[in-house]
């Protein structure tokens, strides 16, 4: 059995990112061919793996001495011909001599090729870095080879690891809730319905009900990172029919302010990790200087936020509705100019535009103890204190036209004791899109699903 270090077999290869720390000498590298410069007397190959790129060099041998053919000369000619035939995207394994040379523009080192093995040859790559988004999505497995696309998912890994570290260190319990549901999770809008043996099932829009069940179960604090589904026919840059939702729920809160403070701390933890590990790469590939947000984030009641944007020349079309996308952009611009902040909590949403399970203010039942978190002009999350009194839940559900019979299992959670609690759900792809200044969540979703896309 071969020993391993960090899940990479010791005998197989050296990751390109680790070459700079090695002394000159024998080395094995592997990856795909990025470019080939096949000059008369020398050949250069840019080899790329999942961690970076390195220059390979080979003194070209174009013909054999007619007076005698040595084994070494024949092998050198074969190597030259093999390199000349390499296509972009071909995966190769190379044994060679590592040499540090500050004159080499790519990383100050190169590998002189001793032996080259073509692992799998590639056809002509059908996309380029400047191809249209739809075409790149058609060839997503090739699009993801680009360093910029690759970095997105390394950032995602770092961000989620930081959040999970925070949760675990603060004694949260991780749960995995079912995505097949016997009844609608919030309403019948935007639901995927499917046959389930001799009955009907629905794909979960969120883990909301099951997060709350955990509070009744006495878990206290829980989190989940998992898929959610919305049968939303939108073709906007920020909507998807399947997305990754970051959810958390906590017991024994006093108000939604407790949830907002938790939310702030999680975002600071995630951004701190990303800035520390990837800040320089983000600046190089995305042209963005990431910073860690300061706390507390600004908080503005929704009605006040609408008045602010109206005073600055934009009236949200419906007075009884949520903040629309243009309103979100306008209030973010105001917060950036006034507070120098990229985040803002919009609070105290009207009960008519919030789910029935959001707790309402005691002194004004027309308002809920809820919020949306806006980041760089776009909503990324909704949070609230939940209503934990079953008789109030039933009344609020009926007031919104819901049948308590269809909420039977959910309502059972509250008949046997449940503490005051609250939480939030947040779209992962939206956070990454706004963090990196991308124009669509298609860029920050590994494999996007929308109304017209089920492949690849």
230 is in an annotated binding site: yes
Q: φ, ψ for residue 406 (rounded to 5)? A: -75, -15
- Decide: residue 305, CB within 10 A, 0-12 exposed, 13-18 middle, 19+ buried: buried
b/e burial code for range 216-250 (CB count within 10 A of at least 16 → b): beebbbbbbbbebbbeeeeeebbbbbbbbbbbbbb
241 is in an annotated binding site: no
102 is in an annotated binding site: no
Closest CA to 343 of 239, 283, 272, 263: 263
Written as six digits, the tokens of 157 are: 């890994």
186 is in an annotated binding site: yes
Bridge partner list, 267: none
d(CA 357, CA 43): 67
430 is in an annotated binding site: yes
List CB contacts of 109: < 8 A, sequence separation 6 or more: 19, 20, 54, 55, 98, 99, 100, 101
d(CA 153, CA 132): 20
Bridge partner list, 33: 47
439 is in an annotated binding site: no
Placement of tokens 């675990």 in the chain: 168
Written as six digits, the tokens of 340 are: 């120098």
List CB contacts of 389: < 8 A, sequence separation 6 or more: 414
11 is in an annotated binding site: no
Placement of tokens 């600071």 in the chain: 268
Query: Annotated binding residues for L-aspartate, as ranges?
Result: 186, 230, 382, 386
Annotated binding site: 186, 230, 379, 382, 386, 427-430
Binding site residue list for ATP: 379, 427-430
């Amino acid at each position: 059995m071969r020993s391993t270090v960090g899940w990479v077999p010791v005998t197989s290869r050296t990751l390109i990112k680790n070459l700079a720390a090695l002394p000159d000498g024998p080395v094995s590298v592997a990856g795909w061919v990025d470019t080939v410069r096949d000059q008369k007397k020398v050949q250069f190959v840019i080899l790329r793996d999942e961690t970076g790129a390195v220059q390979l060099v080979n003194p070209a041998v174009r013909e054999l001495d007619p007076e005698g053919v040595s084994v070494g000369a024949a092998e050198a000619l074969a190597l030259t011909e093999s390199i000349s035939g390499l296509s972009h995207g071909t995966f190769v394994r190379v044994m060679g001599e590592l040499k540090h040379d500050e004159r080499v523009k790519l990383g100050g080192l190169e590998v002189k090729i001793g032996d080259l093995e073509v692992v799998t040859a590639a056809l002509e790559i059908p996309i380029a870095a400047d191809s249209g988004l739809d075409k790149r999505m058609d060839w997503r497995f090739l699009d993801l080879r680009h360093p910029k696309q690759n970095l997105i998912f390394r950032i995602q890994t770092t961000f989620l690891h930081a959040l999970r570290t925070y949760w675990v260190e603060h004694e949260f319990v991780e749960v995995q809730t079912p995505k097949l549901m016997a009844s609608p999770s919030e309403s019948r809008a935007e639901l995927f319905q499917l046959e389930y043996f001799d009955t009907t099932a629905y794909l979960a829009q969120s883990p909301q009900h099951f997060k709350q069940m955990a509070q009744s179960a006495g878990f206290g604090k829980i989190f989940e990172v998992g898929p959610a589904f919305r049968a939303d026919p939108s073709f906007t840059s920020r909507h998807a029919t399947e997305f990754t939702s970051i959810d958390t729920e906590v017991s024994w809160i006093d108000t939604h302010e407790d949830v907002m403070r938790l939310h702030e701390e999680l975002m600071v933890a995630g951004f701190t990790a990303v800035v520390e590990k990837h800040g320089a790469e983000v600046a190089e590939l995305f042209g963005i200087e990431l910073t860690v947000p300061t706390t507390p984030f600004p908080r503005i009641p929704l009605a006040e936020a609408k008045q602010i944007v109206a005073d600055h020349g934009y009236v949200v079309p419906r007075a009884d509705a949520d903040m629309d996308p243009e309103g979100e952009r306008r209030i973010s611009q105001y917060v950036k100019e006034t507070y120098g902040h990229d985040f803002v909590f919009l609070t105290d949403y009207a009960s008519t535009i919030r789910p029935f399970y959001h707790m309402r203010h005691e002194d004004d039942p027309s308002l809920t103890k809820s919020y949306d978190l806006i980041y760089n002009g776009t909503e990324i999350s909704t949070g609230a204190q939940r209503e934990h009194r079953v008789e109030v839940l039933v009344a609020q559900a009926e007031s919104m036209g819901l049948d308590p019979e269809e909420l039977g299992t959910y309502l059972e959670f509250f008949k046997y004791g449940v503490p005051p609690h609250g939480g939030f759900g947040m779209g992962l792809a939206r956070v990454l899109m706004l963090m990196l200044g991308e124009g669509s969540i298609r860029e920050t979703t590994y494999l996007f699903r929308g109304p017209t896309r089920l492949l690849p």
